[in-house]
Amino acid sequence: APKRAALESAQEKLDEMNAVLEAAQEKLQEVEDELEHLQSTYDTSVAEKQDLEFRIDLSSKRLQAASMLTSSLAAEVVRWDSLLENLEKEMQCLPLNVFLASACIAYFGAFTASYRLKLVEKWKGLLVAKGLDCPKEFSLVSNLATPMQIRDWNIMSLPSDTTSVENA
């Protein structure tokens, strides 16, 4: 009987210890679950932080590029203003340039270069006498052809003198 009592006492202690062990294991599982949740949250936060750092860096680079573009375009304003001013002057002279170009095409024919210049000067004088503000510099070639076209003509063996280019 003393052995049975000792066995029962040991069995009770074992049951108590198993209950304590089971409670501790449940608590351990809860802590491990919480740790896993916290680790997952941490990993998500780190990934989000890296994404935000990447976006900040990208935005910074874009801002820097935009700043460079803005300053470059600001420098272009001067050139554009000058170009606009020249184009406005050309637009004012366009009707008279077209008139002079038409006259040149109609009347130049086989005249020499020097006589052609005299004709243009005479026509310009008549326009001024009529109160029309004609262009100071008039060139049939510059009004009817681009430098690239003239170069192409020269490459195709057209002589480069003014009369030949005007006749082209």
Per-residue pLDDT at 31 exceeds 90: yes
Banded model confidence at residue 96, pLDDT cuts 50, 70, 90: confident
CATH of the domain at 14: 1.20.920.20
Lowest mean pLDDT among 79-83, 98-102, 107-111, 126-130: 107-111
| Residue at token pair 């490459």 | 155
CB contact set of 143 (below 8 Å; sequence gap of 6+): 97, 98, 100, 101
pTM over 0.85: no
54 part of a folded domain: yes
**DSSP per-residue string spanning 99-162:** HHHHHHHHH-TT--HHHHHHHHHHHHHHHHHTT----SS--HHHHH--HHHHHHHHHTT---SH
Domain contains 124: yes
Residues 35 and 89: their CA atoms lie apart, in Å, by 79
Domain holding 41, by residue range, is: 2-137
